Amino acid sequence: MADLSVRIGSLTLRNPVMPASGCFAIEYAEALDLNRLGALVVKSVSPDARAGNPTPRVAETASGMLNSIGIPSKGLEAYRRDVLPAYTTDARFDTPVVVSVSADTAESFGEACETLSLPEVAAIEANISCPNLEADGMAFAMQAESTYKAVSAIRRRTSHPLWVKLTPNAGQIALIARAAEDAGADAIVMGNTVLGMAIDVRTRKPKLGNVMGGLSGPAIKPLAVRLVHQCHRAVRIPIIGCGGIETADDAVEFMLAGATAVQVGTASFRDPAVMVRIVDGLAAYCDANDVERIATLTGAVALDAQLSDRWLRFAQQSG
């Protein structure tokens, strides 16, 4: 049987499959064995309480969905008291727990990550796709400079393994990924939802209360695969791919593009047990294709040498 374990910085995961933040809760334990997953990524928490965005917050689209949740949160104290213990103190679970953090400023990011640098937390995922109040609401990860500033502020306050979640809405993704690496990130999560909008043609009103929201699901997978490949060619740290993964083949595609591990989001809303099926599918794929260690798939896409050189020059020029 193939070895499905992967290494992300100092962490070794039993397999490369984990939930995407915001698409998973402890109640999923009723639908699947959480000990079958590589890691458990908990919904993002912000330092201060947030109400979230106005309703409606979700709209179905062709091959995906739009959401504008707004990362509602009760703050760090409530999170540590009411949310985290369900994952870390239950003797049934031995899967590494990753906390996801969202904040409005670089300094508050650092403070929140320091607070959550707990022994029971295996890694911290900094969701720098969120709005930066110091840059008129533009996401930290939209620019290399603000990415470096936010990740540096976090790195100064914690020695915990740090995963940095980037946004697919940015240009020059290679430069942004390198900025995160240079500032001390241990891994990159690529990526998040793509900004979109939908209108009800009968009422002529936006389908989301916040007008625009994040598009996820199979519709964005080719974009996400491309971004993972660009990041893989730009940095030396591991990449966790995310965007439209529904099957084991989808996960393999991301790994061939350069991902070390993958996160599953929208598919879990339709089928809460889908992640375990992906794990089983990865084992079957490895056995059928004589892959002894799944880690060897990372970045193993077969490219023509001349085409690869041209692509690398293009990626460097475009960022």
> What confidence score (pLDDT) does residue 237 get?
98
Tokens of 273: 């047990």
Taking the domains of the chain in order of start, what are their residue ranges? Answer: 6-51+70-199+216-318
Q: Is 69 annotated as a binding residue?
A: yes
Q: Is 67 annotated as a binding residue?
A: yes
- The phi, psi pair for 95, rounded to 5°, reads -85, 135
Closest CA to 146 of 130, 159, 158: 130
Q: Is 217 annotated as a binding residue?
A: yes
> What confidence score (pLDDT) does residue 133 get?
47
In the set 113, 130, 231, 286, the catalytic residue is 130
Residue type for position 253: E
Catalytic: 23?
A: no
Residue 120, CA distances (Å) to 33, 99, 100 in order: 20, 10, 14
Give a three-class secondary structure readout of the chain: CCECCEEECCEEECCCEEECCCCCCHHHHHCCCHHHCCCEECCCECCCCECCCCCCCEEEECCEEEECCCCCECCHHHHHHHHCHHHHCCCCCCCCEEEEECCCCHHHHHHHHHHCCCCCCCEEEEECCCECHHHCCCEHHHCHHHHHHHHHHHHHHCCCCEEEECCCCCCCHHHHHHHHHHCCCCEEEECCCEEEECEECCCCEECCCCCEEEEECHHHHHHHHHHHHHHHHHCCCCEEEECCCCCHHHHHHHHHHCCCEEEECCHHHHCCCHHHHHHHHHHHHHHHCCCCEHHHHCCCCCCCHHHHHHHHHHHHHHC
Residues sharing a CB contact under 8 Å with residue 235, sequence separation 6 or more, in sequence order:
177, 178, 180, 181, 188
> What confidence score (pLDDT) does residue 312 get?
59
- pTM of this structure: 0.94
Class of domain 6-51+70-199+216-318: alpha beta
Q: What is the pLDDT along the chain (319 residues), one digit of tens a residue?
A: 899 999 999 999 999 999 999 999 999 999 999 999 999 999 999 999 989 999 999 999 999 999 999 889 999 999 999 999 999 998 889 999 999 999 999 999 999 999 999 999 999 999 998 754 455 557 899 999 999 999 999 999 999 999 999 999 999 999 999 999 999 999 999 989 999 999 999 999 999 999 999 999 999 999 999 999 999 999 999 999 999 999 999 999 999 999 999 999 999 999 999 999 999 999 999 999 999 999 999 999 999 765 656 655 655 555 5
Chain centroid to CA 30: how far? 23
Q: Is 43 annotated as a binding residue?
A: yes
Q: Is 44 annotated as a binding residue?
A: yes
